[in-house]
Amino acid sequence: MATPEPLLRLVRVSKQFDTAEGAGALAVLRDITLEIAAGESVAVVGPSGSGKSTLLNLMGALDRPTSGEVWLGGQDLQDLGEHALAAVRNRQLGFVFQSHHLLPHCTVLENVLVPTLAHPDGGAGREAEERGRLLLERVGLGRRLGHRPGQLSGGERQRVAVVRALINRPKLLLADEPTGALDRGSAAELGRLLVELNREQAVTLVVVTHAPDLARQMGRVLELRDGRLTDGEGPRG
Ligand SMILES: Nc1ncnc2c1ncn2[C@@H]1O[C@H](COP(=O)(O)OP(=O)(O)O)[C@@H](O)[C@H]1O
Ligand SMILES: [Mg+2]
């Protein structure tokens, strides 16, 4: 029996950035090969500047590798133009960053519906709105639908950002230092929530973090160092 196609596959991926003339290129990622199966939860750890965000951006079709291949759901992203990549990002991927990037003048519910506005049928239908309400209730914000981001705590704002990332039922949720701006208690709570949603929503989860507590909650820990990826401490337990 053939092994099922992984949700995400990186084949000999390298990424270099140009530097000032004559200084040569900066090699950030070197020859990274990696498979992530549907449903997995994976942490990517490594020191600051080790290329974690660069790697996540390649996984999220926000940037292209210098060489190598990135496959998502059996599709080589290299074959897609900018328009198709934008559709992949909108429909198949969810993003959470250290900063929530919520729209300050929109309500909590309006914010989580923003990714549905790009749908060909013209956006937030009743179904999307209902899903938004249910997910906000699920993350404990059922009574805050009409509030603006400024009326929420940092942890609550990140939970809104997580719901916004999940609203289009993505296959893959990518989080870059999602707890980086939170206090210890809120960070632990958000970490737990991400793992629970990974299971409940059947969404594959990749979390970049330098917080060991958060990394340990994931099923697999990968460590980025000197541009290369190694299996870290292994799964919890
Ligand atoms: N667009 C860019 N242009 C040039 N250098 C970059 C760019 N993005 C990141 N870098 C460099 O690549 C290295 C890795 O950055 P990054 O992926 O942000 O690391 P991390 O997220 O692990 O802190 C750093 O040295 C950073 O300065
Ligand atoms: Mg980073």
Q: How many CB atoms lie within 10 A of CB 135?
A: 21
Question: How close is the Cα of 6 to the center of ligand 1, in Å?
Answer: 27
Return the SS3 of 69. Answer: strand
Tell which one of 15, 16, 17 to mutate to probe ligand 1, the residue whose CB is within 8 A of the most ligand atoms.
Answer: 17
Burial code (b: 16+ CB inside 10 Å, e: under 16) for 215-234 equals: bbbbbbbbbbeebebeebee
Q: How many CB atoms lie within 10 A of CB 207?
A: 29
By alpha-carbon position, which residue is closest to atom 3 of ligand 1? 17
121-157 per-position pLDDT tens digit: 656 688 999 999 999 999 999 999 999 999 999 999 9
91-104 per-position pLDDT tens digit: 999 999 999 899 99
Please state, in angstroms and as integers, the Cα–Cα distance from residue 81 to each residue in 12, 86, 87, 107, following that order: 21, 9, 10, 33
Distance of alpha carbon 92 from alpha carbon 63, whole angstroms: 16
Q: Tell whether ligand 1 has an atom less than 6 A from the beta carbon of residue 51.
A: yes
Distance of alpha carbon 167 from alpha carbon 144, whole angstroms: 17
Whether the full predicted model's pTM is greater than 0.85, yes or no, is yes
State residue 85's pLDDT score.
96
Predicted confidence band at 14 (pLDDT cuts at 50, 70, 90)?
A: very high
Q: Which ligand 1 atom lies nearest to the CA of residue 57? A: 17
Question: How close is the Cα of 54 to the center of ligand 1, in Å?
Answer: 6
State residue 34's pLDDT score.
97
Enumerate domains of the chain plus CATH numbers. 8-231 (3.40.50.300)
